[in-house]
Structure 1
Amino acid sequence: MRIFVRLMGYTKLYWRQFLGALLAAGLLAGTNVALPYILQEFMDRYLQNKSATVQILLGFAALYAFGVVLKAVFQFIQNFAFLMGAERGLEDVRRELFRKLHTLGMRYFDQTPAGSIVSRVTNDTMTLGDFWNVLLSVIVGLFSVVSSFVMMWNLNHRIALYVLAFMPLLLFAIWYYSQYSSKVYRHMREKLSELNTKLNESIEGIGIIQQFRQEKRITKEFEATNEDYLATRKAMIRTNSLLLSPIINLLYSLGLVVVLWAFGVMSLDNFVAAGVVYAFTQYVANFFNPMTNMMDSLSFFQDGIVAGSRIFRILDDQEYAPAQNPGADATITKGKIEFRHVSFAYDGKHDILHDISFIANPGETVALVGHTGSGKSSIINVMMRFYEFGTGEILIDDRDIRDYPMPELRQKLGLVLQDSFMFYGDISSNIRLFNQDITDEQVQAAAKFVQADQFIEKLPHQYHARVIEGGSQFSSGERQLLSFARTIVTNPKILVLDEATANIDTETETMIQEGLRRLRKGRTSIAIAHRLSTIKDANLILVLDAGRIIERGTHEELLAKKGRYFDMYELQNGDTAIE
C-alpha cells in the first residue's frame, strides 16, 4: 500500500487527464447498460406482440447505432486521457530517477552493478506504464459492476442477489493471487536485473573476453542466468494461467447457469419476458467481464509494485555525494592546498588513508608516488569530493574545502584521469563537454596548447570529426591528449593529474611534457606519478605505503636518503640514470 500510494503521487500533476478519463469511464458504463435496455424494450414491447413497424425498426436501429458510436467515443476519450496522464507520470519518474543517480556518491556505484542500474531506469520504469493502466481497468470495472448490478436489481431483486453471492469468491481469488504472485514477480525482476548485469558486463569487457578466449565461459554463465529467468517466467505464466481468466470464466459460467435456472423456475408459474432474460444475461456478462480484465491486469499490478519498490530503493538511498556546508560561498583565488591529519575509509570502517598531512603552496607541484594500493588515488578522491573523508581537515586557501560551493570546486579544480572517457559526438563537443559558453577558438587553443592539434588537423573533419562511444577509434595517447585539452579549456586554478601520462607512449609523452610545464605555471598541481622521471621538477614528492606518507622531499633529497623512493627510481632507471 505504501508503494502504491507513493506511485500515485506522480499522477497528481495530471489530475485533469485522469478526471477526464473518470468521467468518460462513467459515461461508458452508462452506455453499456443502456444498450441492452434498448433491445429489451424493443423485444418486449414490439417484437413479442408483432407490433413493430418499419419506422419503429429503423428508430431502434438508429438509437442502438448511436449508442454504439457514443460507446466508441467514450472509450477513446477514456483510454487516451488516462494513458497520456500515465505516460507523463512515467516520464517524471524516469527524470527523477536519473537526477537522483547523479546525486549519489561514488560509493553507491562501487557497490551496485551498472546493469542493475540500467534495468531500473529502463525496464522497471516502463513497467509502471502498465501499472497505471491497471487503475484504468479497475475504475472501468467498478463502474461496470455497480451499474450492471443496479440494472439487475431493477429487473429482479432475488436473482440479482444470487449473482452478488459470487462476489466473495471473486474477492478471495483476487486476494490469493496478489499474495502468491508478488513473490513470483519480485523473483522475476531480480533475475532480469542479473540478466542485464551479465549483458552489460560482457559488452563492456568484449575485448578481454575475446583476447583470453572466454567466449564459452561467458556464454555458459549467460545461459545459466537466462535459464533462471526463464524459470521465473514459467512460474509467472503458470500462476496467471491458473488464477486469472480461468477462475473468472468459471464463475461467470456458474453465474449464468444460476440466472438461467432461476428464470426457468420462475417461468413454470409466471410469464417471463424474453427481453428481460436477454438483458439480464447481458448485465451478468457486464458484471463478470470487467473482473476478467481486472484479474488479467493484476499481473501488471504486481509487476508494477515490485518495479516501484526497486525504483524507490534508489530514490531513498542515502549514499549521497559529499555535501558542502550550508551557505557555502567561498571562492578559490590562490589555489593553496593543505591536508591536516586526514584519514579515510571507503567502507567507513577500515581506513585506507592514515594521518595524511602536507601543504601545496600556490603554483607548486606536489607529486604522489607509491605502489598500487598505497593510497594515491584515494587522496585525489577525497580532495575532489568524490568521497567524504573521515577525520582531519582539507583546506583550500586556508578555508575548509566544504566552505566552497560544488560548482566552484568543479570549475577551479581540473582533473585528468588515467583512463579518458570520450562521449558520442565530435572532438569539439568532447573538449568543451557541450558547454556552449566555450568558443571554437578556445577549443582550438586548448588543443594546440597540449599539441593535440597535430593529429586533429590531420582528420577529414578536424574538430568536427566524429567520436564514437568511448572514442575507440583513437589511440590511448590521442584520447589522453583530448582529455588534457578538455581540462585546460576551463582554465582551472588547481590541476590534478591521476597518472595522466601512464597510457601515453614515450614519444607522445615527450611531446606534451613542455605543455604540462607551461600548464603548471601559476597553478597548484597534484600529480600521481607512474613514471618517476616525469616528476623530477616537483616541489614536493610524497612517497606513500599502505595509506601512510613514509617519505617526503624533493627528487634530489629523496635520492640522497636512499630509501623507498631511491629503490623505486633505481628499479625504473637503473644505476646509470642515478649517477
Structure 2
Amino acid sequence: MRAELVRQQKHRADKHVMRRLIAYLMDFKKSLALAFGMLLIATAADVFGPIIMKIFIDDYLTPRHFPWGPLTLLAAGFIGLYAISALFNYFQLLSFQKIALNVIQKMRVDVFSKVQYLGLTFFDQTPGGSLVSRITNDTEAIKELYVSVLSAFISSGIMIIGIFVGMFILDVRLALICLILMPFLTGLTWIYGKLSSKVYRTTRVKLSQLNAKLNESLQGMAMIQAMRQERRLRREFGKINADHKSAMLKSVRLNALMLRSAVYSVYLIGLMMILSFFGIQSFDHVVQIGVLYAFINYLDRFFDPVNTIMQQLNIFQQALVSAERVFGLLDDDRMAPVQIGTESPSIREGKVEFRHVTFSYDGTTDILKNITFTANPGETVALVGHTGSGKSSIINLLMRFYPVIHGDIYIDGKPLPTFSDNELRNRIGLVLQDSFMFVGDVADNIRLSHQVSDDAVKKAAKFVQADQFIEKLPDKYHEVIGERGATFSSGQRQLLSFARTMALNPKILVLDEATASVDTETEEAIQSALEKMRRGRTTIAIAHRLSTIQDADQILVLHQGEIVERGTHQSLLKEKGLYYKMYQLQHGRMAKGTSLMQ
C-alpha cells in the first residue's frame, strides 16, 4: 500500500515537472509551430520514398518495362523527396535546437536570479557544491532534454505515425499485423522508464555529493594540507565516487539489455511476421516484390525512431530528476527578508534601537536572548564577547539578512521591515572581517554597480588612505584584481572595502571585526581610516581586539546570547566583570589569584 502511494506521488510529481518544462516552451510558440510544420513536411517526404520505390519495382522492374518518360518522373520524384526531406530535416532540427537553447538560457537566468534573492537561511542549510551542481549540471541535463529529447521524441513520434500511414496505404492487413508490435514496444518503454528513473535519480544525487565534497576540499585545501587530512578526504571522495560508479554501471547494464537486445528481438519478430505473411500469400498469389520491399523498408525505418526514443529515455529520466531539483530550487520559499508595507521611510539620523530581540537560526536554540540597546546618532556602540556569544547575529539582524521573529528593531524610530532594500543597503555601510573582492579592476570593486563617478571613487579611496597603495600599482585604479583579490594583501583588500563603503556615504556604519585579520603595521592605517569613517555616523562595531574600541560611547558585553554588561571602557574595567577579565587576558596582565572560571 505504501509503495503504491509512493508510486502515485512520484507519477504526479513527474507530470507536474513535465507541465512546467512544457510551459517554458510557450514563450516560443510561433517558432515551435514553424519547426513542427517543417518536421511534418520532412516526415511526409520520408514516408513517400518507399512508395515510389514500390511503384518502380512492381510496375516497371518486375515486368521489365522501362519507358523513359515515367521512369524519369519517378526518379525526379524520388530525388525531389530526398532533397525535401534533407532540407526540411536540417531546418526543423536547427529550429528545435534554437528553441531549446533559448529555453535553457531563460531557465538558467531564472535559477541564477532566484539564488540571488534567497535568504542566508537557505545558504546556511545548503552545501555550496550541491547548489553549484543544481545550477550547472542539472540545468545542463535539462538542456539535453530540450536539445536532444524534444526533437527526437517529436520527430520519432511523427515518423512512426507516418510509417503506419504508409503501411495502410500499401496493405491494410499487413499494417494491422504490424500494429501487434506496438503493445510490446510500449511495454518495453514503460519498463525501461520505470527502472531507469530509479537509477538516474541515484546517479544525480551521487553527482551532487561529489560536487559538494570537491567544493569543500578546494575551499579548505590549506587546512587539509596543514592538518594532513589528504588521505581522509581521498577516502571519503573515493567512497562517494564508487557509489556514483555503481549507479552508472546499473545504467549501462539496463541500457545494454533494454536498448539493444530487447528492441532487436521485437524487430526480428516483426520481420518474421512480414516474411511469413508474404510466404503464405505466395502459395495462392503472386507476391508483389515492391510491396515486400516497401514493408521491410518501413519496418527498418519504424525501429529507427523506436530505438531513438528508447535511447533518449535515459536522458529524459535524467532531465526529469534534474528538473525536479531545479524547480525545487525555484520554488524554495527561504527568501531574504523584504520590505513590508508601502511606507518606505528614509534613514536621516541613524538612530538604531533593539527592543527585546530574541533570535534563533533553527527555531529551537536561541542565539540571542532579549537583546535591548540604543545607538544614538553619531555614537559608536561596540559588541564584545567570546566566540558564539551572538555578536555577528546582531549584525545579521540589523542588516536584515534574517527576519526578526521575536522583538523589534527600529531605525530612526521606524520598524526595520518598513525600509526598502535600496535604502538599507545604501545608507548602512557594512565592512566584514574578510573583504570579498570581485573579478575586475580596482575602480570597479569600489564602485560596484552603483552610479559613482571616477572622481567619487578616487575621493573615497583617498578618504580611507587606500590611494597611497593604489597610486603605486602599475595601472592604478585600472589594476586588474583576480579571483577574491588574491594578489592583494588582507590590509589592502580591507582598505578597498572601506573605500567601497564610503563611496555611498552611509549614515550607519557596521564593522564586523574589521581589523581582526591584518598585521599591526596595517592596522594603524586602518584604525586611522576607521576613525575618519566613524565621524558623524552611527557605528555598530564587533571588536576582537578590545584596544580598538576603548573610545566607544557604549560597549555591550555578550555572553551566551545575552547582554551581561554594558558601559564605557573605563566603567567596565571598574566593575571587574567579564570585560575586565577579557581585557586583562588580552594584555597579559591577569591579576594574581583571578581566574576566568570564577
More deviation in 284-293 or 405-414? 284-293
Matched, 1:412 2:441: no
**1:541 alignment partner, SS class:** strand
Q: Which residue of 2 aligns with 1:425?
A: 440
Matched, 1:362 2:390: no
Q: Which residue of 2 aligns with 1:477?
A: 491
Distance in 2 separating the partners of 1:499 and 1:415: 11
Describe the shift of the 1:158–1:345 C-alpha distance in structure 2 as closer, same or farther (beyond 3 A). same
Distance in 2 separating the partners of 1:220 and 1:392: 47
> Which of 185, 207, 211 matches 1:170?
185
Matched, 1:64 2:97: no
Matched, 1:276 2:309: no
**1:49 alignment partner, SS class:** coil
Superposed CA deviations along residues 278-302 of structure 1, whole A, max 9, x for unmatched, are: 1121222232221111111111111
How many Å apart are 1:221 and its aligned residue?
Answer: 2.3
**2:366 alignment partner, SS class:** coil
How many Å apart are 1:276 and its aligned residue?
Answer: 1.1
Matched, 1:542 2:556: yes
The amino acid across from 1:108 in the alignment is: F
More deviation in 48-57 or 297-306? 48-57
Q: Which residue of 1 aligns with 2:42?
A: 28
Distance in 2 separating the partners of 1:252 and 1:23: 30
The amino acid across from 1:554 in the alignment is: T
The amino acid across from 1:482 in the alignment is: L
Distance in 1 separating the partners of 2:546 and 2:538: 19
> Percent identical across equivalent pairs?
48
Distance in 1 separating the partners of 2:187 and 2:399: 58
Q: Which residue of 1 aligns with 2:396?
A: 381
More deviation in 446-455 or 523-532? 446-455
How many Å apart are 1:232 and its aligned residue?
Answer: 1.0
* 1:129-140 correspondence to structure 2 within 5 Å: 129-132=143-146, 133-140=148-155
Matched, 1:556 2:570: yes
On the 8 A contact 2:581/2:590 being kept in 1, the answer is no
How many Å apart are 1:206 and its aligned residue?
Answer: 1.8
Distance in 2 separating the partners of 1:392 and 1:166: 70
Distance in 2 separating the partners of 1:513 and 1:388: 32
Q: Which residue of 2 aligns with 1:468?
A: 482
More deviation in 543-552 or 564-573? 564-573
Distance in 2 separating the partners of 1:346 and 1:150: 64
Q: Which residue of 2 aligns with 1:567?
A: 581
Superposed CA deviations along residues 337-396 of structure 1, whole A, max 9, x for unmatched, are: 000000000012211000000000100000000000000000000110011122111000
The amino acid across from 1:502 in the alignment is: A
How many Å apart are 1:519 and its aligned residue?
Answer: 1.1
Distance in 2 separating the partners of 1:303 and 1:329: 46
* 1:484-523 correspondence to structure 2 within 5 Å: 484-523=498-537
Superposed CA deviations along residues 238-288 of structure 1, whole A, max 9, x for unmatched, are: 111111233222211210111011011101100121111111212222322
How many Å apart are 1:215 and its aligned residue?
Answer: 2.6
Superposed CA deviations along residues 506-551 of structure 1, whole A, max 9, x for unmatched, are: 1211123222122111110000011111111111100000000000
Distance in 2 separating the partners of 1:447 and 1:207: 32
> Which of 96, 121, 124 matches 1:110?
124
Q: Which residue of 1 aligns with 2:90?
A: 76
**1:349 alignment partner, SS class:** coil
Q: Which residue of 1 aligns with 2:414?
A: 399
Aligned residues: 576
Q: Which residue of 2 aligns with 1:438?
A: 452
On the 8 A contact 2:466/2:492 being kept in 1, the answer is yes
How many Å apart are 1:484 and its aligned residue?
Answer: 1.1
Distance in 2 separating the partners of 1:475 and 1:510: 15
Distance in 1 separating the partners of 2:165 and 2:529: 85
Matched, 1:189 2:204: yes
Distance in 2 separating the partners of 1:39 and 1:340: 88
How many Å apart are 1:473 and its aligned residue?
Answer: 1.3
Matched, 1:52 2:52: no
Matched, 1:215 2:230: yes
> Which of 327, 332, 347 matches 1:317?
332
Superposed CA deviations along residues 184-228 of structure 1, whole A, max 9, x for unmatched, are: 010000000011112212222222222233333322322222222
* 1:280-295 correspondence to structure 2 within 5 Å: 280-295=295-310
Distance in 1 separating the partners of 2:169 and 2:526: 91
**1:244 alignment partner, SS class:** helix
> Which of 93, 102, 110 matches 1:88?
102
TM-score (norm 1): 0.97
Q: Which residue of 2 aligns with 1:152?
A: 167
Q: Which residue of 1 aligns with 2:115?
A: 101
More deviation in 60-69 or 252-261? 60-69
Q: Which residue of 2 aligns with 1:40?
A: 54
Superposed CA deviations along residues 97-120 of structure 1, whole A, max 9, x for unmatched, are: 111111111011011111111111
More deviation in 532-541 or 459-468? 459-468
**2:406 alignment partner, SS class:** coil
Distance in 1 separating the partners of 2:519 and 2:494: 11
Structure 1: stretches of 5+ with no match in the other structure: none
How many Å apart are 1:401 and its aligned residue?
Answer: 0.6
Superposed CA deviations along residues 453-472 of structure 1, whole A, max 9, x for unmatched, are: 22222221121112110111
Distance in 1 separating the partners of 2:343 and 2:429: 20
Distance in 2 separating the partners of 1:95 and 1:7: 15
TM-score (norm 2): 0.94
Distance in 2 separating the partners of 1:283 and 1:356: 79
More deviation in 528-537 or 437-446? 437-446
Superposed CA deviations along residues 59-79 of structure 1, whole A, max 9, x for unmatched, are: 332221111111111111211
On the 8 A contact 1:17/1:84 being kept in 2, the answer is no
On the 8 A contact 1:328/1:402 being kept in 2, the answer is no
The amino acid across from 1:361 in the alignment is: N
On the 8 A contact 2:129/2:211 being kept in 1, the answer is yes
Q: Which residue of 1 aligns with 2:7?
A: none
Q: Which residue of 2 aligns with 1:240?
A: 255
How many Å apart are 1:44 and its aligned residue?
Answer: 1.3
On the 8 A contact 2:515/2:526 being kept in 1, the answer is no
The amino acid across from 1:272 in the alignment is: V
On the 8 A contact 2:120/2:401 being kept in 1, the answer is yes
Distance in 2 separating the partners of 1:309 and 1:177: 20
Distance in 2 separating the partners of 1:164 and 1:574: 91
Superposed CA deviations along residues 147-206 of structure 1, whole A, max 9, x for unmatched, are: 211221232222211110111111111111111111101000000001111221222222
Distance in 2 separating the partners of 1:144 and 1:535: 78
More deviation in 367-376 or 288-297? 288-297
